[in-house]
Structure 1
Amino acid sequence: MKSKLLPLSLIALFAGPAMASDFPKKELTMTVNYGAGSNTDVASRIIASAMEKELGKSIVVENRAGALGTMAVSWLAKQAPDPHRVGVVTYATQAISPHLMKVGYTMDDFQWVCGFGRYLYGVAVRSDSPHKTINDLIAAAKKDKGVSFGGASTPNLIALLELGRITGAKFVQIPYNSGADVRAALLGGHIESMVQNPGDILPHVATGEMRMLASASPIRWPMAPDVPTLKDAGYPVEVDSWIGLGVRAGAPADAVKRLEDACLKGIKHPDAAEKLTNIGIVPVGLTGEQYRDALKSGYQKMGAAIKAANIPRISN
């Protein structure tokens, strides 16, 4: 009996799905651009755990904090295009930081996997602070030395600097590597105020250690609906930010698609969505293309806002 040979085109057709299903072939690494214990770190570990269930492989989370979150992104841009190495890439590092400081990357250095969360921001002080309202804080910041505040990313920076610009108040930024560091500094009395996420504020409001003065987001926090936004208080200032995943440009498209599917399915896990909500991050499910478009739109929007506010570049 003569054997029949399949045409090479058919062999390639049948091999395609099998090759795509080969990914992931090994353990993955997820690089987080802020320090351990920060909201970004906690959120990254939540989505990593959910994606592990979809991919069938472990995901090791590593932290590379520094330079307002841009250090890890610059590092990722220099790596080989291996889809087993996933980076947490936030709105702040793509849409805001390039307008304020020198960064070692452009958006074209990455292929976008997904966007999985939207941050909320708020202004807080210690509970023993004399500042009971956002108006009190602004009044104090109009005095000679101003008011110090901590922030670990550029949205935090922009919120109070823009507030200072439109009110004539002086807010002095003290930089930190993570939200956890900022939180510790406020509780320790090393700074007078902070702009941070719900996970850094609400637990300490509950224990009586902090007071939240305003939401710096476009909306009131669902978990603190009685606290006004800055706009509610009469100040046209708001900051918005997102968190998502990317890999180095040049990674195989089928592997990137597998990562995207794992992220979008993972964010629908009830426990993942609940955990993100509990730390004050609104769960979203943006495809890689949608996340890229959001970042590009944000880059244009924030560039115009920073220019209008005349916010100086940061030396780095």
Structure 2
Amino acid sequence: MKSVRIAATAVMFLGLSWNSQAQTFPDREVSLIVNYGAGGTTDVASRALAQGMEKSLGKPIIVQNRPGALGTLTPAYIARQKPDGYQIGVVTYSTVAIMPHLMDLTYTIKDFEFVAGFGRFRYGVAVNADSPYKTLADLVKAAQSGQGLFFGTTSAPNNLAIFELSRLTGAKFEHISYKSGAEAVTAVLSGQVQVIVQNPPDILPHIKAGKLRMLASASPMRWVEQPDVKTMKEQGYDVEIDSWLGLAVPKGTPAAIVNTLEKAALTAMADPALAARLANMGVDPASLSAKQYLDILEKGYIEMGRAIKAAKIPRITG
């Protein structure tokens, strides 16, 4: 009986301790761990958000980078941290909705409390401006005839657009993977590959310079910068890819702390100046609550699992 009372007292004390911490959170600096390297779009966008959140939290947010393993090192790290709100991770759509279908990971979507979503990436199918393929249909027809077309991308979900296109049409494409969008662009400009699927910052400058031509938006929407270029779906191919940026903390973080972080993120995203900064980086600003972001990730996990299985994309090993 005595041991039961001691256990109950310990649980009550722990609960009071968590409540006290939640009420005073944050009382020191907070760390934001970014899952890609310094200077990249995800990093710059995350730092901009952190600056906005500092105003609401009243404490500094120290940004650190943990790149590697296709962006999955940061989620793996965050899932192991103390659930006190002082370690926030940039946990993206690709790392919880796509990569679990392609890699053996130490975490699942259930290992996090999601805070907010703050950005959305767009994807475009582009060829060299001198390419004989003037339309997406031209590209598909050539690949169907066995011309041995090569496509270049950095990683998922970019490559899923062509894998799905190949599966739906019987067109034959060979994939070459690159470490960065800049490398993929160089490859299509030099003729190493015939087509790429990349983000606005990678290809828009080259479109404006007359070096690339965009055949389709691989996203659910057209690009505002290329309003006359239809989506893949609009062109008759049932293909679209998506990806989001968001924040998460370890599972078990008190709801009051998650709510504080969510409010800080959403308040920051309500600032038109921050939204403009993200847009200038090629990231569509978003202001998703914790629940909205989780809903997108859970739905995406199911949809991407089906697409990856249908496309017979091999798992990544080694």
Structure 1 residue 87: Cα displacement? 0.9
Where structure 1 has 5 or more consecutive residues not aligned to the other structure, the ranges are 1-14
Contact kept, 8 Å, 2:79 with 2:107, in 1: the verdict is yes
Structure 1 residue 51: Cα displacement? 1.2
CA distance in 1, matches of 2:69, 2:116: 23
1:117 maps to what in 2?
A: 119
Evaluate the alpha carbon distance shift between residue 86 and residue 126 of structure 1 in structure 2; reply closer, same or farther with a 3 A threshold.
farther
What secondary structure does 1:257 align onto?
Answer: helix
Contact kept, 8 Å, 1:159 with 1:239, in 2: the verdict is yes
Aligned partner (choices 87, 106, 109) of residue 107 of structure 1? 109
Per-residue Cα deviation, 1:106-133 (whole angstroms, up to 9, x for no partner):
1121111111122211112333444333
| Identical pairs, percent | 52
Aligned partner (choices 25, 28, 39) of residue 27 of structure 2? 25
- Pairing of 1:83-102 with structure 2 (within 5 A): 83-102=85-104
Quick check: 1:149 aligned with 2:157? no
Q: Bigger CA drift: 72-81 or 230-239?
A: 72-81
Contact kept, 8 Å, 1:39 with 1:200, in 2: the verdict is no
Amino acid at match of 2:151: S
2:268 maps to what in 1?
A: 266
2:14 maps to what in 1?
A: none
2:78 maps to what in 1?
A: 76
TM-score (norm 2): 0.84
Contact kept, 8 Å, 1:33 with 1:65, in 2: the verdict is yes
1:205 maps to what in 2?
A: 207
Structure 1 residue 105: Cα displacement? 0.8
CA distance in 1, matches of 2:178, 2:79: 23
What secondary structure does 1:213 align onto?
Answer: strand
CA distance in 2, matches of 1:148, 1:160: 8
Structure 1 residue 161: Cα displacement? 0.6
Quick check: 1:242 aligned with 2:244? yes
CA distance in 2, matches of 1:255, 1:189: 52
- Pairing of 1:1-316 with structure 2 (within 5 A): 19-20=21-22, 22-142=24-144, 143-152=146-155, 154-183=156-185, 185-186=187-188, 191-316=193-318
Evaluate the alpha carbon distance shift between residue 68 and residue 19 of structure 1 in structure 2; reply closer, same or farther with a 3 A threshold.
closer
What secondary structure does 1:229 align onto?
Answer: coil
Evaluate the alpha carbon distance shift between residue 281 and residue 254 of structure 1 in structure 2; reply closer, same or farther with a 3 A threshold.
same
CA distance in 2, matches of 1:294, 1:215: 20
Per-residue Cα deviation, 1:151-208 (whole angstroms, up to 9, x for no partner):
23x2112111111112222333333444455445555665443212222222222233
Structure 1 residue 241: Cα displacement? 1.9
Amino acid at match of 2:287: G
Amino acid at match of 1:262: A
Per-residue Cα deviation, 1:68-92 (whole angstroms, up to 9, x for no partner):
3223222322333342221111112
Evaluate the alpha carbon distance shift between residue 85 and residue 189 of structure 1 in structure 2; reply closer, same or farther with a 3 A threshold.
farther
Structure 1 residue 220: Cα displacement? 1.0
Amino acid at match of 1:147: F
Evaluate the alpha carbon distance shift between residue 190 and residue 254 of structure 1 in structure 2; reply closer, same or farther with a 3 A threshold.
farther
CA distance in 2, matches of 1:62, 1:121: 27
1:10 maps to what in 2?
A: none
Amino acid at match of 2:102: L
Q: Bigger CA drift: 304-313 or 211-220?
A: 304-313
Where structure 2 has 5 or more consecutive residues not aligned to the other structure, the ranges are 1-16
CA distance in 1, matches of 2:92, 2:81: 18
TM-score (norm 1): 0.84
Structure 1 residue 36: Cα displacement? 3.3
Evaluate the alpha carbon distance shift between residue 27 and residue 253 of structure 1 in structure 2; reply closer, same or farther with a 3 A threshold.
same
Contact kept, 8 Å, 1:81 with 1:251, in 2: the verdict is yes
Count of residues in Structure 1 that have an aligned counterpart in Structure 2: 302
Contact kept, 8 Å, 1:36 with 1:178, in 2: the verdict is no
What secondary structure does 1:45 align onto?
Answer: helix
Contact kept, 8 Å, 2:152 with 2:178, in 1: the verdict is no
Structure 1 residue 225: Cα displacement? 0.6
